[in-house]
Amino acid sequence: MSAAAFSPRPGLVIDGFVVDEQLHRGGMATLWAVRREGPAPDAMPLVMKVPRIEGGEDPAAIVGFEVEQMILPALQGPHVPHCVARGDFTRTPYLVMERIAGPSLRPRLDAAPLPLAEVIDIGARVATALHELHRQGLVHLDVKPSNVMFRADGTAVLVDFGLSRHDRLPDLLEEEFRLPMGTAPYMSPEQVQHVRRDPRSDLFALGVMLYHFTTGHRPFGQPETVRGLRRRLYEDPVPPRRLRPDCPPWLQELILQCLEVRPERRPQSGAQLALALHNPEQVALTERAVRSATAGRLQRLRRRLRGLRDEARPPARPGAVSQVMKSPIVLAAIDVDQAASGLLEQLREAVRRIVLTEPGARLACVSVMRIGRIAMDERVDEQGQSLHVRQLVALKHWARPLLKSLDLDESRLTFHVLEAPDPALAIVDFAERTRVDHIVMGARGASALRRHFGSVSSQVVAQAGCTVTVVRE
């Protein structure tokens, strides 16, 4: 069977997979429900993706399918469909992968503007998924609602990797084509300038999605020409609060930050964006938060000239892994109630040295307020003051000399008081949820009791999935 003649139909058996029904027919490919041949049912539902090769097809579509066949097997984890099998173009081109049962985000566009709580939840879940894929060396480059799905447990899944780039694989699209690649409303300025290496392009696309879900409008319309695409290099979107007054300033701040022309002015990683969405009260507000108008004519002209200069000589962009590594989240776990002053000072110095070596790092200062498992503890002290607030104040007091010595911008710092019966478990859980890269914490001197039950620091070292630095008293 030649590739040109390959056309699935219900009942056809292809390399041991039985075709059941067509699920979707797109411009580039068709999707079919399939199952393995034989009596034993599959542990997971399967879908077969088949490129449309009918003569006169776009060569980029064929290369894009080759790219997806190459990239999908290299990806792992819950944020991508599991790749099961693939057939090459010499005989029967296809991809068999896990079928994600949940819906895509595409139908939610028709319901926009969405409730703000849903917009925030979508943003945090997709940002987390993007971070995990960027850590594997992938830049998706076609993030849009139809390419985002959700598992039954709410985990965001990215699909359709035909335009993607992987740090450790050949970039066939860049090698063979010279036009911008992507879906017009979601393309980042650097994609318009033919730069495909920067993972922050995906955060721009996520910003477009969040803008649309918040306001019901696309920030840059739906351009149909390269000239129309280039307008986003120098024109601002209408601030979301002008279109939706109940949009909080902090959310406008984050959306417009994602839509910045220059990648270095956007959130520097998906994990950092997710952390901000989960902690709105700690988002550092700038003029973006209160912006009510777009840029004037002179400012647009300056941006246009700068864009022409950058396009003539586009700057080198980092690959996905190197950008994520340049933008880690460092967690400083501080026992503000029990640690001796000497240990607190040593922790400050250790954190200072780590952050100095990571100019793009975000610092999360965390303290755990131990509570009983039945949660009947008093939440106020003898003077009637909140214990939670008191601990938060103590945590900020610990950080004050550190901030002064580092001259750290507020946007790179958050404070968190966790209430939990098990401090080690609370720290590990927080680190996992926020994709922390490095935990710094203290350990008091040894004692018989601590040797018997195990210290908090030893439990964190044993359970954390990231680097842990323990500073000893």
List of E strands, 151-270 = 156-158, 165-166
What mean pLDDT do residues 163-182 have? 86
What residue type is 309 in one-letter code?
R
pLDDT tops 50 at residue 2 = no
Percent of the chain exceeding pLDDT 90 equals: 59
* C-alpha span between 342 and 220 (Å, rounded): 54
Q: Which of the two residues, 163 and 358, has the higher pLDDT score? A: 163
Q: Which of the two residues, 234 and 96, has the higher pLDDT score? A: 96
The two three-digit tokens of residue 101, written as one number: 């049962």
DSSP letters spanning 396-462:
HHHHHHHHHHHT--GGGEEEEEEEES-HHHHHHHHHHHTT-SEEEEEEPPP-HHHHHH--HHHHHHH
Instruction: Count CB atoms within 10 A of the CB of residue 282.
Output: 16
Q: Which of the two residues, 216 and 6, has the higher pLDDT score? A: 216
* C-alpha span between 445 and 208 (Å, rounded): 51
Give the domains, in start order, of the chain with CATH numbers.
13-98 (3.30.200.20), 106-324 (1.10.510.10), 328-472 (3.40.50.620)
Instruction: Select from 74, 315, 360, 328 the least CA-distant residue to 197.
Output: 315
DSSP letters spanning 288-344:
HHH--S---HHHHHHHHHHHHHHHHSPPP---HHHHHHHS-EEEEE--TTTS-HHHH
pLDDT tops 70 at residue 99 = yes
What mean pLDDT do residues 354-371 have? 89
Mean pLDDT rounded to a whole number for the chain:
88
pLDDT tops 50 at residue 472 = yes
Q: Which of the two residues, 317 and 220, has the higher pLDDT score? A: 220
Predicted confidence band at 309 (pLDDT cuts at 50, 70, 90)? low
* C-alpha span between 221 and 202 (Å, rounded): 18
| SS3 state of residue 367 | strand
What mean pLDDT do residues 317-345 have? 86
pLDDT by residue (tens digit) across 232-245? 998 899 999 999 99
pLDDT by residue (tens digit) across 423-455? 999 999 999 999 999 999 998 765 544 444 458
pLDDT of residue 1: 39
What are the percentages of helix, strand and coil residues in the chain, rounded to 5? 45, 15, 40
* C-alpha span between 436 and 429 (Å, rounded): 10
pLDDT tops 80 at residue 377 = no
Q: Which of the two residues, 108 and 42, has the higher pLDDT score? A: 108
**R_g (Cα) of the chain, nearest Å:** 25
CB under 8 Å to 426, separation ≥6 — which residues?
A: 368, 418, 420
pLDDT by residue (tens digit) across 243-300? 999 999 999 999 999 999 999 999 999 999 999 999 999 999 999 999 998 777 777 7
pLDDT of residue 287: 95
Predicted confidence band at 55 (pLDDT cuts at 50, 70, 90)? low
What mean pLDDT do residues 311-326 have? 70
Give the β-pairing of 17-25 and 13-14. Answer: antiparallel
